[in-house]
Structure 1
């Protein structure tokens, strides 16, 4: 069941990321305001003179928030799947045998 949610979140994350890219590319830059002042702007468009900028910026902010939340959720699912909660970090550490007396040239008791 966890794999299903991870896959669903991954697909949603990719789709939201592509949508963020699209909405950012649709927005006008700050240099586009000068052209809009001389009548070539979007004053007669569907959203009005400043409505499209508000719609695009709000939608981009919402999509960026969803992207951030799905990033955190994917990180949580990936870390939970990688290491069980009952396993300690020090459990897999291998301690090498002490070989100092053999290196000094002394006889090691048999």
Structure 2
């Protein structure tokens, strides 16, 4: 249950961070002021106090990092046995062939030398 709640929070925080970053005005937006269009003191505009969106982005980034750390810690704690999956596989028992000792050979089987063959014809 805890992991599900943290995952939902993680996704929501990620979406809000994306929206907050996209809503912020870029520093290069006031670059036209440097060429006589405004009264800016620097090329990229005066940097005043941090806006609400930049503070919100910083807070959400901190929440995102802490949430990521918590999820990683929970996932690492839930691992039962260290090692790879291959180490957990039980080996398959090997089949052993039953060898018949030479003394117990079937008496009905004979070697070629022991066959009763007539002598060759001498024509």
TM-score (norm 1): 0.57
Given candidates 66, 69, 93, the residue that maps to 1:69 is 66
1:19-58 alignment, distance < 5 Å: 19-34=16-31, 38=37, 53-58=50-55
Counterparts in 2 of 1:7 and 1:55: CA distance versus 1, 3 Å? same
In the alignment, the residues of structure 2 paired with residue 80 and residue 17 of structure 1 have an alpha-carbon distance, to the nearest angstrom, of 24
Q: Which has the larger radius of gyration?
A: 2
Residue 17 (structure 1) aligned with residue 3 (structure 2): no
Higher helix share goes to which structure? 1
1:10-41: CA deviation from partner (whole Å, max 9, x where unpaired) = 000000000000000011112112357857xx
* Structure 1 counterpart SS, 2:51: helix
Aligned length: 89
Unpaired runs of 5+ in structure 2?
Answer: 39-47, 92-123
Unpaired runs of 5+ in structure 1?
Answer: 40-49, 96-110
In the alignment, the residues of structure 2 paired with residue 13 and residue 36 of structure 1 have an alpha-carbon distance, to the nearest angstrom, of 39
Report the CA distance between 1:93 and its aligned residue.
8.4
